Amino acid sequence: MSQDTPSSATRDRLASGLDWIGRATRRRFAIDPRALAAFRISLGVLLLVDLLRRARLLEAFYTDAGVLPREALFSDYSSVYSLHALSGEAWVQGLLFLVAGGFALALVCGYHTRVAALVSWLLLISLHIRNPMILNAGDILLRMLLFWGLFLPLGARWSIDARRLESTRDQSQSTLATVGTMAVLLQVLLMYVVNAVHKTRSEMWMNGEAVLHIFEADHLTILLGNTLAGNSLLLEGFTYAWMVLILLSPLLILLTGIPRAVFTTCFVGMHLGMLVTLRIDLFPVVVVAGLLLFYPPVVWDWVTTLATRLGFAAPLCRGLDRLEAVLPRTETVDARLGNGRANETTVRSAILARGRVLFGTVVPWFILVLVVLSGAEAVDYTEVPDAGDEVLDTIQSSQSWQMFAPNPTSTAQWLVVPGELADGSTVDALHESEVDWDRPPNVDETYETSRERKYISNMRYAGNENHRSYFANYLCERWNSEHETELESLTVYGMSDRSGPYDDDPDIAEFTLLEYDCSGEFIQN
């Protein structure tokens, strides 16, 4: 009788162990196709909402008549590859917004999904490059989620594409695990881990006072946040709860099934809480869109069943049917080539297959490594090679994730901009009203949008002196184009309430940011 040798037994155990690791890894990076569909729809809706919100200050932020004319953009930023920078006219920007909205709508419906995702990503990068001064963490995460979506079958379910492709009739595959699914899940986790490292280096976060200080800065608080600002015990509890969550964030990957769903829901709940308390634009809902990918099939089974019982599923299917009927179809490659060119079709199919391997495996692996290195560099663990930095800069994928870290602001901040008119009178050139030096009751109400608040916050600080001139010049031009009495000069004052969370009275500080002659040179420092 032959017996297994010790070496063959060892090899069997090693192979068995590697198989187990492979299955465990695959399970943790697998995504339900319905989660991908919900993710796709969320991204499309977010793009549409983002465009609508940006359009409110389209002229101010994206035209030559605004705070960053192209002359200044090209002067201050070394590489400007942006369609939005080809013209400084408002109607061109409006047209580009409409085009972006059309592709975002196609993404929602799942119509030519990959093309819609690619064009949406390119237009989003173009928009971000046009005015970097108004970007926030939500913008960075949105474009990264959209980028990773290029390597995912976002149109496999709940889409027009899925209804037209015969290959999708087999719905037996419950989950999908690829390099793309790994990358998009790790992207969300990387955001939390890097931010957690930043915050562990802050005494304010570690001793439970950070959220209390954030809510004291009432240029950031809205809605429920204005009410919670005085509840120190509750805000201290939120600080510790958030620190525990982000420190345990690797469990988003390590857990599976119901435990992962419960843990993911804790993050979703915290971000929805941010949505109704802090003026941080779309960041909370962008994160929620990414968190949808972590929900396992059991949750999507329940969602599907609930939608059917409530009568939502049938109308949505009928809507897709109507859209499918009216939208043009695209001929397949075989139909265009004809049966007489089968050999050419075979060669073309082989080339396309190799191209898909390169695009779907090699490229995301390469970018994922660079993204992880960029996150590690942000917390001083390593450095990205120069060539890698160039790649990340080109696709706008550098990572830092310093949201409210290491030390969040605790001072309410606003501007007062007294300007002298030709007749000798004085006005507030920013708000086009009388000059008021008192602290506003709610500082957040002094900003029309969160983009305006972000711009003014960035403009105030060192390194952005030129932008103060651009801002002052914009105020001069705006006033003089709308009023008969010209504005001759203005002074930009940065106002801050430096009182702490436990202080009863405000401590107002006044900083002269810039004195500007409206008839002088474009840049005045």
pTM of the model: 0.91
Last residue of a domain, one of 392, 408, 424: 408
The verdict on whether omega for the bond into residue 6 sits within 30 degrees of 0, i.e. cis, is no
Residue with tokens 């200044």: 72
Both 347 and 209 in one domain: the answer is yes
> Does 18 fall in a domain?
no
Q: In the chain, what percentage of residues exceed pLDDT 70?
A: 89
Closest CA to 456 of 445, 466, 467: 467
Q: Which of 3-12, 148-157, 300-309 has the lowest mean pLDDT?
A: 3-12
359 DSSP assignment: I
Task: Evaluate the CA torsion angle 371, 375, 381, 383 in order and state its sign.
Answer: positive
Last residue of a domain, one of 375, 408, 441: 408
235's enclosing H/E stretch is helix 232-247
Query: Number of folded domains in the chain?
Result: 3
Domain extent at residue 151: 32-166+317-330
The string of pLDDT tens digits covering residues 49-58 is 999 999 999 9
What pLDDT, on the 0 to 100 scale, is given for residue 348? 61
Both 394 and 421 in one domain: the answer is no
> Does 392 fall in a domain?
yes
Both 194 and 227 in one domain: the answer is yes
Both 47 and 115 in one domain: the answer is yes
Both 273 and 397 in one domain: the answer is yes
Both 395 and 480 in one domain: the answer is no
Instruction: Using the predicted structure, report yes or no on whether residue 10 has a pLDDT greater than 60.
Output: yes
Last residue of a domain, one of 360, 393, 408: 408
Q: In the chain, what percentage of residues exceed pLDDT 90?
A: 67
Both 159 and 213 in one domain: the answer is no
> Does 7 fall in a domain?
no
Both 404 and 418 in one domain: the answer is no
> Does 3 fall in a domain?
no
Instruction: Using the predicted structure, report yes or no on whether residue 285 has a pLDDT greater than 50.
Output: yes
Distant-in-sequence, close-in-space partners of 215: CB < 8 Å, separation ≥ 6: 221, 225, 228, 229, 235, 277
Report the C-alpha gap between 78 and 39 in whole angstroms. 34
> Does 302 fall in a domain?
no
Residue 155 has a CB neighbour count (10 Å cut-off) of 27
Give the three-class secondary structure for 376. helix
> Does 215 fall in a domain?
yes
Residues written for the chain: 525
> Does 259 fall in a domain?
yes
Report the C-alpha gap between 266 and 128 in whole angstroms. 31
What pLDDT, on the 0 to 100 scale, is given for residue 3? 53
> Does 107 fall in a domain?
yes
What pLDDT, on the 0 to 100 scale, is given for residue 321? 67
Both 508 and 444 in one domain: the answer is yes
Both 432 and 404 in one domain: the answer is no
Report the C-alpha gap between 415 and 510 in whole angstroms. 9
Both 194 and 66 in one domain: the answer is no
- Quick one: average pLDDT of 144-158? 95
What pLDDT, on the 0 to 100 scale, is given for residue 18? 79
Half-sphere exposure in the Cβ direction for 261 (13 Å, CA):
14
> Hey, what are 65's tokens?
């008549």
Both 114 and 48 in one domain: the answer is yes
